[in-house]
Amino acid sequence: MKPLLLLFLLFLPLFSIASQDPHILPRPLILELPSHGGTEPSIAGSAGGEAEEEGEESAELRRLRCSSWRFAAEANNLGPWKTVPADCAGYVREFMTGRAYKSDLEIVAQSAAAYARSVRLAGDGMDVWVFDVDETLLSNLPYYADHGYGHELFDAHEFDKWVEKSIAPAIQSSLKLYEEVRALGFKVFLLTGRSEGHRTFTVENLKKVGFQDWDRLILRGPDDRGKPATMFKSEKRREMEVDGYRILGNSGDQWSDLLGSSLSNRSFKLPNPMYYIP
């Protein structure tokens, strides 16, 4: 009799489960053992785990928001802005030092080269391609690495000291485009917002990293001080047209390099989420 009673007691839980909805399984209690030598187990899904998940979600939302901010900046939808938002400083640093920035540069250069090859030049030496210098041919990334990748307010005095070192590296995809444009027969004009007083340093830097044989290097003279970049560059392009040149291509990292008047047939905007020049 006792063995039968023992078997009945063993199988009693099974009969109890069977009497419930067969599609609902009993909820298991999952225990997470302490990781630092404690003796009390805790139920998984504790406040610590939830906080970690919330932190990951918050980081992802911040990255998404900063990606949207960069897109708006590149598309010229933000209007004038002075610095990278504080909560996007890390995102911009990662973008500028990672593969994405280099990939974006290469796509722009490849598209520009494809266009340049498609153009039928007149053969009279009057077809021009205009290049900006900073963040278009030369990279000032080493300077901005020391100045918050655009999170700090621009300091003209500090930047001038950097320019006078003549050590900015070439943007390699732009150097390749530059050489191809020259080989195709375009006149190459460099149009930069740097001051005339920095001509020697700029020439030294450009030649040092591989840029050779441009046709004109145009910098800001005394009469150009204080002019918005859009006005200054529009006036200089107008002077090219008055001289009989046809501006077929224009490459720059700022919309002020490309907009205004006396526009080129095609313009190519290089990425730059670190600063904005009106």
pLDDT at 14 over 60: no
Residue 153 DSSP label: P
**How many whole angstroms separate alpha carbon 58 and alpha carbon 178?**
43
Strand 31-32 relative to strand 42-43, pairing: antiparallel
Structural domains of the chain, with CATH = 17-45+52-97 (no CATH), 99-269 (3.40.50.1000)
As a whole number, the mean pLDDT across the chain is 87
Tokens 């996007």 — which residue? 88
If pLDDT is split at 50, 70 and 90, which confidence band does 20 have?
Answer: very low
Tell me the per-residue pLDDT of 250-260, one tens digit each, with 9 for 90 and over: 999 999 999 99
If pLDDT is split at 50, 70 and 90, which confidence band does 47 have?
Answer: low
For residues 149 and 95, the answer to whether their CB atoms sit within 8 Å is no
- If we measure between CA atoms, which residue out of 33, 40, 200, 174 comes closest to residue 116? 174
**How many whole angstroms separate alpha carbon 227 and alpha carbon 224?**
6
pLDDT score for 58 = 87
Q: Residue 108 is encoded by which pair of tokens?
A: 């722009």
pTM above 0.95, yes or no: no
Tell me the per-residue pLDDT of 184-231, one tens digit each, with 9 for 90 and over: 999 999 999 999 999 999 999 999 999 999 999 999 999 999 999 999
pLDDT at 16 over 70: no
